[in-house]
Amino acid sequence: MSGIRTGALPETWAPPEVAGEETSQDSSPFVDFDRESWARLGANTPLPLTAEELDQVRSLGDEVDLDEVREVYLPLSRLLTLHVQEGGRLYRAYRTFLGATTARTPFVIGIGGSVSVGKSTTARLMRLLLARWPQHPRVALVTTDGFLHPNAELERRGLMTRKGFPESYDRRALLQFVTDVKAGRAEVSAPVYSHLTYDIVPGARSTVHRPDILLLEGLNVLQPAQPSREGGPALAVSDFIDFSVYVDAATEDIRRWYVERFLRLRETAFRNPESYFRRYAALDEAGAVARAESIWAEINGPNLERNILPTRGRATLVLRKGPKHDVTGIRLRKV
């Protein structure tokens, strides 16, 4: 199979540089695709997206274009639709077997990865594409940012410099949210986070109404369960995820993208009087680069290395990006 290969999962994975034959390491639970091979899986599938719609979902600094949507994200939406359909068949078989009359619960897709790697764009783009498939028109997106503790609570706990680390989230509330979704509750709500004020919006809630698919996007959606204080069985959000996507790239590339985004924000959002980071708008370029590098070195880099990157191997599918922010390879867990 040209462009597709299987093999053991290396410590630092990179997609195949040259399309080649499938290796003899058939014991691997993964199969790797180069972009050309992956794109063929979406051949003859119409692109239900316009350039204007893509502009609306693309994050600052993310250069995804319609060609990449067609070659990477359209085949992914097709694969996810197959999973949702197979889940529906299993649900109907269970209902017959158990004699139950309960409605099918939402199919939950987790999307994880570092800051600045493009997971938010991926999540918004997949929401658009999946909703265009007639099999599941109701697709909701919730980000785990809303489950961060408010800044006042983070200050009280001494965690403001660890914002984004697992302990900075209300993990109990996040787990309850996903549990309620998978229990089939008619309405489930989540807190709302503002990237402008860098804090939870007091009193604001985002409500999902039993969607066909729920996309859950965040830094730590693939974290394993933490041992309970009582020593009994523990649950994690990842236990309720039906399919997971990890957006990956070399750490040095992500660091560079973070600094470049910080410089763009210094010229735009940071100038808003309501912005938490407005004090950085007055920095010259050298000062802004130094501050961005400092934030990366103290917070985002350590969080990536200690908490986020170790969850990559737990994903169903990995989107690997190259230095230009484009997807260059895909790793898929075998069924």
Q: Does the annotation flag 158 for ligand binding?
A: no
Tally of domains in the chain: 1
Q: Does the annotation flag 120 for ligand binding?
A: yes
Would you call 308 helix, strand, or coil by DSSP?
helix
Consecutive H or E run containing 321 = strand 317-321
Distance from the first to the final alpha carbon of the chain: 18
DSSP states of 30-81 as a string?
EEEEEHHHHHHTTTT------HHHHHHHPPTT----HHHIIIIIHHHHHHHH
Q: Does the annotation flag 289 for ligand binding?
A: no
**Mean per-residue pLDDT, 260-274:** 91
Give the model confidence (pLDDT) of 33-90 as tens digits.
999 999 999 888 888 888 888 888 887 777 889 999 999 999 999 999 999 999 989 9
CATH code for the domain of 148: 3.40.50.300
Residue 56: inside a domain? yes
Q: Does the annotation flag 182 for ligand binding?
A: no
Q: How high is the pLDDT of residue 66? A: 92
Residue 74: inside a domain? yes
Task: Give the lowest-confidence range in 35-39, 75-79, 95-99, 318-322.
Answer: 95-99
Residue 21: inside a domain? no
Q: How high is the pLDDT of residue 233? A: 63
Q: Does the annotation flag 114 for ligand binding?
A: yes
Residue range of the domain that includes 161:
51-333
Q: Does the annotation flag 115 for ligand binding?
A: yes
Residue 16: inside a domain? no
Residue 262: inside a domain? yes
Assess whether pLDDT exceeds 60 at residue 21.
no
